Homo-oligomer: A and B are copies of this chain.
Amino acid sequence: MITIALPKGALLSDSIELFKGIGLDFSAFLDSKNRQLQITDPTNTAQGLLVRATDVPVYVEYGQAQLGIVGYDLLLEKSPEVAHLGDLNFGGCRMSVAVPKTSPYQNPRELPPNSKIASKFVNCAKTYFQQLDLPVEIIPLYGSVELGPITGMSEAIVDLVSTGRTLKENGLVEVDTLFQSTARLIAHPLSYRLNLDHLNDLSEQIKNSVSKS
């Protein structure tokens, strides 16, 4: 039986909707009283595994799940060894550089060398500033990245922006976009290549359902 890793958080309800469209019902994961992290769909066709968004590529890389749904941002940040099967056209957001609206540097290229940049996405931020040829120090934070500039610890942040409300509430403005991100379908490379448990049929069904919607 195929196992599908589903991400907790922002992408969950759209992911469950997607699988419902091809006859796989994992909506029990949306029940706030549910404590199960592994469920089989009612038709006994596939198993769903509910894990942290960051852990989805890990389960897929190790073949514990043959399919998974993950944001493009995490694929760029973690570079897991998984097969990228396609864009699912939901969960849209962008990776942005933001600075305080009172900052004298309203363009990332104007940031003084050795500026400090707070981010959860250390690798994305590093690559971006290397491409600008600007030597900066990336400060890895795990939560409330917007506190970086507020406390004066960093000149800017690199973070995922969806509505922009958090930035606005904290007096920050976006000054550049690294890339747009959406949810992606990923697969365990070997399982996909060997077409284990008709994995390719299932992924085709998913892709067809996305292109129709």
Contacts and interface: CB of A to CB of B under 8 A. Distances in A.
Contacts of A151: 3, 38, 49, 59, 64
Nearest to A54: B142
Classify chain A: how many residues form its interface, as a range: 20 to 34
A37 interface: yes
Given A49-B151, A64-B152, A58 B139 contact: yes
Chain A interface main SS type: mixed
Given A54-B142, A58-B140, 4 more contacts: A49-B147, A52-B141, A55-B144, A62-B139
Given A49-B147, A147-B37, A147-B49, A55 B142 contact: yes
A206 interface: no
Interface of A: 3, 8, 37-38, 49, 51-52, 54-55, 58-59, 62, 64, 116, 139-144, 147, 150-153
A62 B142 CA distance: 15
